[in-house]
């Protein structure tokens, strides 16, 4: 295949001061040339001169190897997870990683020349960098992992409504507003210390995101399994304890206290009821219940 070499200015995602990494990207396979078209195109008016780099005597090269499913974020699926970057100045490893399209909350272990480092580590010379996700076959350096595993509070973006509903069905606390803008999602995430669930990788790259996950699948059932596995939730499932509408906890309530709100047949056939402590919605094991139970069992089977 034809090799291609290009010079690009790549925006530093989440960088409050708007800094840019100036790199050249050496593309070892055809097809990689399109990878940054969107980014460069969107910010062409902000592009800084890249000509300086070729004459910069301090330029150096880093070779990044993305392991396991981190390759999901790379544009080309034929690179074996390997990307080479040519840098012209001291750069944080977080910025180098994200310039490849991989959000920092997805990276659990960074090895620079086989030594574990954190996101603030600066790259100043040639280096080999290995990156591993949370669910990795690599079991090395467990004490130097960068992500928290067991989190039980989430905020889901507007495109993940069914995932949010599934997680609530399993008893998990998921803030969700279909209309929420990125800024609102980040605010709720920060204020309520929630992990951000979104398929928008650029949102996940925002500097204030501490915990987050990008579901790989577009299917809500599979996304639910992914989230349960990523955050070690399989032993924390408490079905039918949270309101599917508003996320507030449900409370058992005596039939006599809600009987006036029930339909005639419901009054006759059902004895046990739960009421939402937030919106007042009443729940009972009606005809819809068995469908929800089947969905729940299917999820549990996949997680066991």
Please report, as ranges, the residues that interact with Zn ion according to CB under 5 A. Answer: 243, 245-246, 248, 276, 278-279, 281
Distances (CA, A) of 2 to 26, 31, 151: 12, 10, 46
Distance of closest approach, residue 276 Cβ to Zn ion, in angstroms: 3
CA–CA separation, 187 vs 69, rounded Å? 28
Q: Residue 196 or residue 276: which is nearer to Zn ion going by CB?
A: 276
Distance of closest approach, residue 287 Cβ to Zn ion, in angstroms: 20
Q: Residue 32 or residue 242: which is nearer to Zn ion going by CB?
A: 242
Distance of closest approach, residue 187 Cβ to Zn ion, in angstroms: 22
Distance of closest approach, residue 272 Cβ to Zn ion, in angstroms: 18
Distance of closest approach, residue 81 Cβ to Zn ion, in angstroms: 44
* Strand 127-132 relative to strand 122-123, pairing: unpaired
Length of the chain equals 304
- What is the DSSP track for 146-210? -S-----EEEE-TT-HHHHHHHHHTT-EEEE-TT--HHHHHHHHHHTT-EEE-S-HHHHTSTT--
261 Rama sector, left if φ>0, alpha if ψ -120 to 50, beta otherwise: alpha
Q: Residue 90 or residue 261: which is nearer to Zn ion going by CB?
A: 261
Q: Residue 137 or residue 252: which is nearer to Zn ion going by CB?
A: 252
Distance of closest approach, residue 278 Cβ to Zn ion, in angstroms: 4
Q: Residue 239 or residue 278: which is nearer to Zn ion going by CB?
A: 278
Dig out the tokens for 229 from the structure.
């596995």
Q: Residue 186 or residue 246: which is nearer to Zn ion going by CB?
A: 246
72, 96, 191, 155 alpha-carbon torsion, rounded to 10° = -10
CA–CA separation, 218 vs 295, rounded Å? 17
Dig out the tokens for 45 from the structure.
């008016």
């Amino acid at each position: 295949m034809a090799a291609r070499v290009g010079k690009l200015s790549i925006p530093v995602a989440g960088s409050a001061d708007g800094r840019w990494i100036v790199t050249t990207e050496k593309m070892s396979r055809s097809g990689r040339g399109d990878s940054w078209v969107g980014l460069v195109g969107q910010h062409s008016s902000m592009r800084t001169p890249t000509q300086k780099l070729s004459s910069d005597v301090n330029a150096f090269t880093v070779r990044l190897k993305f392991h396991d499913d981190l390759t999901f974020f790379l544009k080309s699926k034929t690179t074996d997870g390997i990307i080479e970057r040519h840098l012209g100045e001291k750069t944080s490893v977080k910025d180098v990683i994200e310039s490849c399209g991989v959000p920092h909350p997805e990276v659990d272990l960074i090895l620079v020349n086989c030594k574990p480092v954190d996101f603030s580590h600066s790259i100043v010379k040639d280096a080999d960098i290995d990156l591993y996700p949370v669910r990795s076959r690599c079991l090395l350096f467990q004490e130097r992992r960068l992500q928290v595993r067991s989190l039980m509070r989430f905020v889901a973006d507007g495109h993940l409504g069914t995932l949010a509903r599934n997680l609530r069905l399993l008893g998990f606390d998921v803030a969700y507003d279909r209309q929420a803008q990125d800024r609102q999602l980040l605010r709720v995430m920060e204020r309520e210390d929630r992990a951000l669930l979104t398929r928008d990788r650029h949102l996940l790259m925002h500097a204030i995101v501490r915990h987050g996950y990008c579901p790989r699948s577009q299917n809500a059932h599979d996304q639910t399994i992914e989230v349960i596995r990523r955050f070690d939730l399989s032993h924390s499932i408490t079905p039918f304890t949270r309101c599917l509408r508003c996320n507030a906890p449900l409370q058992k309530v005596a039939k006599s206290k809600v009987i006036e709100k029930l339909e005639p047949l419901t009054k006759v056939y059902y004895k046990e009821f739960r009421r939402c402590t937030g919106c007042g919605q009443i729940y009972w094991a009606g005809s819809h219940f068995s469908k929800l139970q089947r969905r729940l069992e299917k999820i549990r089977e996949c997680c066991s």
